[in-house]
Amino acid sequence: MPNFMKTTLALLGGVVGVHAVYVAFIRPHAERTIANAYAQGLSASRSFSVILKDYEQEICVILMCWGIYLMVDKYLAISRHRYLFGMKLIGDPQANYATTLQEMQSALHELESIQDAEIRNAPLLKTLRSAARRYVATEDVQNTSDAIVTGVDALAARIESENSMLRYLIWAIPSLGFIGTVRGIGQALSQADQALAGDIAGMTNSLGVAFNSTLVALLISILLMFLLHELQRMQDKLVVDTQAYCEEFLLDRIGKK
């Protein structure tokens, strides 16, 4: 399934699932809590459902679920290919003889004949194929080294580009929280005359909307930022390991005399 379709379906699934939880549990419980407080002339308690009940918080939770899905998907993609770094895809770096052109051609043919599309498109194999193809064409170690550097730089740039949506989500979620803050403060100001008359319940509930939306948005942003840093650590390790593997199993072999 194309990646765009997968992420779109994940977003739609998050919208449906989170909204169903809100309709079935969170909002009914919050409405009962607020109604009981009104009946007693008190402000609603800051229970879990009351904090989460507003639309800004619902959107933040949906985006949180989508962001976690995107990061878990990237994490699993990296983990699925980690075993390749333990395989000797091109020769043995401990051997005391250089890889000949014929051996390199044979190794390149084996890399290009892999049928599994997921394995074939693994970053390590794509970089190895590019470097091996350059060596077969030029028989030059420096050109092969340049091909490895180019492949690793392209991998790093692709990873950086793919993370742009996650960084946008981490920026957008606090912004949604601030929108809720502005909306809540606006509602509170519109009820100032009631507060002056002695009924402060409406104003305090509106201020609750303002503070709750910011609280939820900031907590979600902190969580997603932590997960993103962990993902970036794995991605940086992938880039470093890819370059190290190509240098050990390819450059070291063709550079021997």
Residue 133, pLDDT score: 87
Token pair in block for residue 191: 């009820």
Distance from C-alpha of 63 to C-alpha of 223, rounded to nearest angstrom: 12
Cα separation values, 155 from 31, 180, 247, Å:
50, 39, 16
Residue 41: predicted pLDDT = 64
Question: From CA 173, how far away is CA 64, in angstroms rounded?
Answer: 8
3-class SS letters over the chain: CCHHHHHHHHHHHHHHHHHHHHHHHHHHHHHHHHHHHHHCCCCCCCCHHHHHCCHHHHHHHHHHHHHHHHHHHHHHHHHHCHHHHHCCCCCCCCCCCCCCHHHHHHHHHHHHCCCCHHHHCCHHHHHHHHHHHHHHHHCCHHHHHHHHHHHHHHHHHHHHHHCHHHHHHHHHHHHHHHHHHHHHHHHHHHCHHHHHCCCCHHHHHHHHHHHHHHHHHHHHHHHHHHHHHHHHHHHHHHHHHHHHHHHHHHHHHHCCC
User: How is residue 224 written in tokens?
Assistant: 């997603």
pTM over 0.75: yes
Lookup: tokens for 102:
């014929």
For the chain, list residues with pLDDT below 70: 1-2, 41-45, 91-100, 188, 190-208, 255-257
Give residue 93's pLDDT: 54
Q: How many CB atoms lie within 10 A of CB 33?
A: 18
- For the segment 114-154, what is each residue's pLDDT rounded down to a tens digit? 878 888 888 889 888 888 888 888 878 888 888 889 999 99
Q: What is the pLDDT of residue 191?
A: 65
pLDDT tens digits, 163-191: 999 999 999 999 988 888 888 777 767 66
pLDDT at 234: 93
